[in-house]
Chain A
Amino acid sequence: GQNIDQPTEMTATEGAIVQINCTYQTSGFNGLFWYQQHAGEAPTFLSYNVLDGLEEKGRFSSFLSRSKGYSYLLLKELQMKDSASYLCAVPSGGYNKLIFGAGTRLAVHP
């Protein structure tokens, strides 16, 4: 089976850096996804990690440690529009059905 844990809520200040952690347990590993979801909207793809290490993409970076079953999403130079839920997800099963964590609701304050 799969188990994905993320903090429920986080708050941060505009311009700051925030790290959102995700731990997972899965039978077989085929990468880890991060999605962003604004209230009332669909999840949108942020990143995909399949190898250990840090992947940087503009203000957002994602890190993976397969041996520790751990990932984090790092958001730099926070903006108000970054207020959203951030979902960690792992593919599972022979056809890679995507299983999501409960999501971390991030509130960015001025």
Chain B
Amino acid sequence: DARVTQTPRHKVTEMGQEVTMRCQPILGHNTVFWYRQTMMQGLELLAYFRNRAPLDDSGMPKDRFSAEMPDATLATLKIQPSEPRDSAVYFCASSGLYGYTFGSGTRLTVV
């Protein structure tokens, strides 16, 4: 069963620290998305890549967030420095010919 793998599943960090979240998309899926989910805002699109090239990161606070896809098997989302308002669940999703599949998410708590 093909799946999108995200690590870590949970992360608790102190304000000001750097956080890196990783995602392994489904092999052969050429589009990768990063979403953030909070109770207040629901699922928000932060950034996405197609064939490893960044297409749109307008949903992402540029001063502290960065997203990269160093190779076809790894996408990263980095927050530096982290703030309490970044606490949320971050989902990665990949899509191929037949739809979008989400990873299990990284639950980030910034204290």
Q: Could you tell me which A residues sit within 8 Å of B by CB distance? A: 33, 41-45, 48, 87, 93, 95-103
Given contacts A42-B91, A93-B56, contact A98 B45 (CB under 8 A): yes
Contact A101 B42 (CB under 8 A): yes
A98 touches B100 (CB 8 A): yes
Q: Which of B65-73, B76-84, B102-110 contacts A (4 or more CB under 8 A)?
A: B102-110
Query: Can you give 11 A-B contacts (C-beta < 8 A)?
Result: A42-B104, A45-B99, A45-B100, A45-B101, A48-B99, A95-B31, A96-B31, A97-B55, A98-B33, A98-B100, A99-B45
Inter-chain contact total with CB atoms closer than 8 Å: 43
Pick the residue among B42, B55, B91, B100 that contacts A33 (CB under 8 A). Answer: B100
Taking CB atoms, residues of chain B closer than 8 Å to A102 are: 42
A97–B48 touching, CB < 8 Å: yes
The docked-state distance in angstroms from the alpha carbon of A42 to that of B105 is 7
Least Cβ distance of A44 to chain B in Å? Answer: 7
Which B-chain residue is minimally distant from A48 (CB atoms)?
B99
Contact with A along B34-74 (1 / 0, CB 8 A): 01000000110100101000011000000000000000000
Known: A93-B56, A100-B43. 20 other contacts (CB 8 A): A33-B100, A42-B91, A42-B104, A43-B43, A43-B91, A45-B99, A45-B100, A48-B99, A95-B31, A95-B55, A95-B56, A97-B33, A97-B48, A98-B33, A98-B45, A98-B93, A98-B95, A98-B100, A100-B42, A103-B43
